[in-house]
Amino acid sequence: MHRRDLEGSEKVLRREHLDTLTSVSNLGSVLESQGKYKEAEAMHRRALEGYKKVLRLKHPHTLTSVYCLAHLLH
């Protein structure tokens, strides 16, 4: 369902829309919980890069994304 949500968001809202980036992050979290760490890392990195580009580094969404990636890498 998260992949389906992401595909729809990318088509309708585009890749760098905040809701699409949230979908990317959510998918990363699900993949992490499934033990698919390589895929999860790719999603968390994609979300982080998108948030940094759209919102800059000090925005709460960006900082949450930093945390998600750090948690995965830990």
Output the pLDDT for position 55: 97
Domain count, the chain: 1
Output the pLDDT for position 69: 98
Output the pLDDT for position 62: 97
Using pLDDT thresholds of 50, 70 and 90, give the confidence band for residue 9.
Answer: very high
Q: Using one digit for the tens of pLDDT, what is the confidence trace for 15-64? A: 999 999 999 999 999 999 999 999 999 999 999 999 999 999 999 999 99
Q: Tell me the CATH number at 38.
A: 1.25.40
Transcribe the chain into DSSP letters: -HHHHHHHHHHHT-TTSHHHHHHHHHHHHHHHHTT-HHHHHHHHHHHHHHHHHHH-TTSHHHHHHHHHHHHHH-
Structural domain boundaries, residue 38: 2-73
